[in-house]
Structure 1
């Protein structure tokens, strides 16, 4: 596993290993979406990651998708996150914040009755959302007007400013998994005409405007991006996911990002294909692979030059000392899916380390 434990330059940072922590929604913020002390403990426990990418965090108010997810749009939220970043840094870690807009995955019961927004008035089907009144079907979103989109860009820029004030080392723009920016990217969710619909150049316009605005706050060396061209989560599909991924890989070179974080597959296996190879061939920056890697596969994939690092999700969730366990060849704790989104420390901060 020598490759996994070699340092890596990630924009302005040097990661001491290539075992990154993927962003994982855990729903442990309070009712005002303020990060809690429990969250700071959770992230500090995992500070041995080469880089922690913190969970999807609301860039602006009124777009909650998970009820108890954190935000970064209020002073209280900034203060709550500052406690987390201080704890991670005290433990020797590095942490980026994933900034996000839920798009059509939001629900009126989570947002004071407001209808969710999206590129087109197409609802998520085949799933339900958790609300204070129990699980409910997703509703049909309202199609955003072109003149509303500068406000979305400005909201991401303000979130980037707030993340900086909260002490993060950088930010990751969430362009994956069927949330707003991904909805604009993929033609299964974006049926609009005009400057933000139709050909891929138009569908990518909002994402690129957001990236440029966030870079204006942080500089490109502290901004990452997550993409999921194949993932069908949240009723997502594209007519040409490989072509989309290849085109994006080429164009993203212009931004000189700290990294591109690529989800290589589909949670539900409705879409298949190899997005990793064309992205690696066309993207010249640091590439992070994600989804279903074992430590052995990750080490081999990095050694072969297919990616530069791997982000681990549920294995990091259940193993706060994941790098040490991998290095020692020790068995891993099994994640308990029943406690992924429940309140409190159970299944969150109580997973044992090797020593304990």
Structure 2
């Protein structure tokens, strides 16, 4: 199969869909790989490294899309990339379509088979291709939040760990999934006073058994948010409904009761955000202030540590890329129910129930469409 790796063009996005090591595996399996010039240059994956792995280097995204059948990316395609997609393409990348109606309609119009990393499952119902980026995003969230609490960043001048004779900062984590758990690891490690909320009592029990009195566990309710938000110095929004838009748990009215100079990091911003006042920001301009509260809502947070993120992502995605390349898209989807769940758009139809519900678009049966292709 012919596989293409374009250079990412989203703001400050330096990750790349395939590493030279992954390219070598695909070449050894008998496939051809085209990589856009300088696609991985910023993170130390040089064109020479790709050439030595057996890839061809081409200039400009149009050349990649023209050569390839399977397009492997990291972030959702930007408008100029959507324009290059054709019905014979398969796109394998993060899509996050629930809050993106324009992108969704553009992908449907392209006729491309679009498989989203974030909705591929495993046999336990987990999200193996979302997990590595969620782990990194959860850890970055605390680092970014700690910086935003500094005076020059607009924060209230609080150190997460406190100091001898000075209390530690209060960190509130909303959601105890992969993002929340990794934020918890960082916040505890930095010496903060940590509270984590979730709707799952079984998950809260697990955290309580692991951390004991190092962490406060609270069942997530409207009342609990009303009680804990006024005390928080740093709030991490770590809510996920797989494939669907995130629920708005922190309301705009909550900002009025929060401390001036406190910080919200909304990691759910890729799925529309779990904070009503959140809007996507970039690594160039990561924050804004509303009602005296600093908001950090960067939509590609793991891109800040692009080399680590690329390596972690490839560890998870390579087996699926190999399956798509070895079997072809149709057979790979039919052979793997977990990969099939990643299919969001096919033959001009929307095939994700969660996205269809979020955007009010008619849902097509993915299995029927693929079988009849």
TM range (shorter): under 0.3
After TM superposition, the score normalised by the length of structure 2 is 0.25
Q: Which has the higher helix share?
A: 2
Kindly name which structure, 1 or 2, has the bigger radius of gyration based on alpha carbons.
Answer: 2
